[in-house]
Chain A
């Protein structure tokens, strides 16, 4: 049976890709969030120091003798010392005019009230953070606005940020690798029960339709219970049809026997040759029907037994000789001789009933197709494996469809006029398969059909 399954991606890959790309995106988002926070915190730190410096300078502003004096403490600039020795700039303005300090720093645009602003500017070829604040002094000549700008370069800040970024990147990558590994693990764990189910179904015998009983995750319950239901229905319908056939065959066989005996009796009484001929045809048809019925029964029995083999040790030679003896009355009717050829004792391990049935069918076939006064040679051997070979002198198998003969209800094209159901070779083959053996059929070079049953 070849069935093409249409594949659309892989659950495992889909799960892995979703988890890994999800974690990659998470890692990147995490990186930017943490870096953003770090930047903000670092910047806040710098702004706070600038603010403190600014306040200490502004607080030192006084008016002495009508002149502004800003005697700011050493600490005002000392607190701006950093590990990387950032440059520091400041400017002090009186009513917007530079009083002292560096030129060109952004002066606060005459602010009302005491406010502080922070901004990042480019100054003397480098980026600097500037803080501005102002203060109103009331002197003899009225209000004086003192405003101060303090600026600091961002070397130390950038280094801090770089090292944070580097660490966060390392953490992010570590997080990603961990999550990727976990994803792989999670995916495998998730997919495993499915794989186990598939493997267990694959391992089953062709006729094992029993329900799947191992423990499975809850998500797989619908699938497995559907599968079980399907198999149950299949099993039931198979059994029903087998039962039906067996029952039908059985029911048909008894009336056929009655009809046959009546036909035989009637044949004795009629004398008209055409009537006798008709009756003979009738008897032959009845024979054929009853044989088919019994073979159907055999086949049903074999189908049942192959699932439940009752193995024992069997002497193959004894079995063959016994069969040959039992079939000798029929052989004698055609003057056919059955020769059993053997050397050493051959013993096999198998179901006696099945093997007997298979061999009887093979010998039966040979008898049916043998011409009168022919010889059927049966040889039994154990090399290389136990085997049985039957060689008749009949017309042989039709070479065209020799391969199909073992299928159910298939009969050779040369079987016209010979009673048969087309089940004989099927039974022999099923039995061979049930015992891990094989049935070979071919035409002998010197004529006649040949069948080898090996175990």
Chain B
């Protein structure tokens, strides 16, 4: 690795591009002639090891890694699919709809498990459950809830304590939040009860898991519902303030997915990157290098299925109905 000079350039302002990126970085190793543009919803720090390991094998490639939220990512890509090579997102429904609408190319990869790909175009590469994350101090000398019912009970029993100290995704802004919410809702009515309880107590709405975890650590909120366990796990290494709970009743488990744009400027390079990504993610995680959870199912673990039904809640009418109901429950 030492012989490679990794240049990490941070662009604070990027005047030529009107898009508002959460993060925008270029990775390269010296002489470059091809720029691979990756549109992603995954924080750069999680992806950096994979990007760098790809550059080791492909020194002539430069990678531009662009980060934005899942919902805006979908909008940006639909408007200009010819500007990006790969699209990586945690919103499985939006990704599947992109493929269904014909935005992706097929990639032959026989090794990848069939449950983790759709139409040989959309490839899942992580397994990440949605978690209830709590501030440990808020539950000192208290029984830590293990399921949604436990959480409802805990919230009701100490309603004063939790007043305005709860957090969850704003499903209107976050694609992943919407996916988690709709999958919860279709699995169990408990979701709506929880939302009503949380709404009654006053809940902070967040765009992203990162912000929620920040506020948890600082103690601003005591409980965050439907946080990405992978992000929380990464932060837990730094701060021991939080506890991650995978709900025992039904854990909603997301898979991060990637696809290569049909109009990708560098199709072959993008395919190669995809194969590299899948190969890396099928191996158990290297604790020191890779922070993305691998694509390995624990026994009995189930994920959200990659199927056309994911488009159900993307339907305009369904979405209107769902948001209306959600707002009625959480905002009140």
- What A residues does B101 contact at CB under 8 A? 124
CB of A92 within 8 A of CB of B308, answer no
CB contact under 8 A between A78 and B309, given known A88-B100, A124-B101: yes
Q: Within 8 Å of chain A (Cβ to Cβ): is B240? A: no
CA A84 – CA B114 in complex, angstroms? 10
A-B contact pairs, 12 of them (CB 8 A): A70-B318, A72-B312, A72-B315, A74-B312, A77-B310, A78-B312, A80-B308, A81-B307, A85-B118, A85-B120, A86-B308, A100-B318
CA A239 – CA B147 in complex, angstroms? 120
CB of B308 within 8 A of CB of A87, answer yes
Q: Within 8 Å of chain A (Cβ to Cβ): is B119? A: yes
CB of B311 within 8 A of CB of A88, answer yes
CB of A70 within 8 A of CB of B309, answer no
Interface residues on chain A, number (Cβ under 8 Å):
25
CB of A77 within 8 A of CB of B309, answer yes
Interface string of A82-119 (1 = CB under 8 A from B): 00111111001000000111000000000000000000
Nearest Cβ in chain A — how far from B222, in angstroms?
A: 33
- What A residues does B308 contact at CB under 8 A? 77-78, 80-81, 86-88
Interface string of A50-85 (1 = CB under 8 A from B): 000000000000000000111111111110110011
Nearest Cβ in chain B — how far from A122, in angstroms?
A: 13
Q: Within 8 Å of chain A (Cβ to Cβ): is B113? A: no
CB of A87 within 8 A of CB of B119, answer yes
CA A125 – CA B186 in complex, angstroms? 33
- What A residues does B30 contact at CB under 8 A? none
- What A residues does B312 contact at CB under 8 A? 72-74, 76-78
Interface string of A364-399 (1 = CB under 8 A from B): 000000000000000000000000000000000000
CB of B309 within 8 A of CB of A99, answer no
CB of B309 within 8 A of CB of A100, answer no
Supply 20 further A-B pairs (C-beta < 8 A) apart from A72-B318, A100-B317: A69-B317, A70-B315, A71-B318, A74-B309, A76-B312, A77-B307, A77-B309, A77-B311, A77-B312, A78-B307, A78-B312, A84-B119, A85-B120, A86-B308, A87-B100, A88-B100, A92-B315, A99-B316, A100-B315, A101-B315
Interface string of B90-122 (1 = CB under 8 A from A): 000000000011100000000000000011100
Q: Which residue of A lies closest to B318 (CB)?
A: A71
- What B residues does A72 contact at CB under 8 A? 312, 315, 318
Nearest Cβ in chain A — how far from B258, in angstroms?
A: 16
Q: Which residue of B lies closest to A83 (CB)?
A: B114
Cβ-defined partner of B321 (8 Å) among A71, A76, A125: A71
Q: Which residue of A lies closest to B99 (CB)?
A: A87
CA A80 – CA B100 in complex, angstroms? 13
Interface string of B165-187 (1 = CB under 8 A from A): 00000000000000000000010
CA A75 – CA B186 in complex, angstroms? 10
CA A100 – CA B311 in complex, angstroms? 12
CA A80 – CA B305 in complex, angstroms? 13
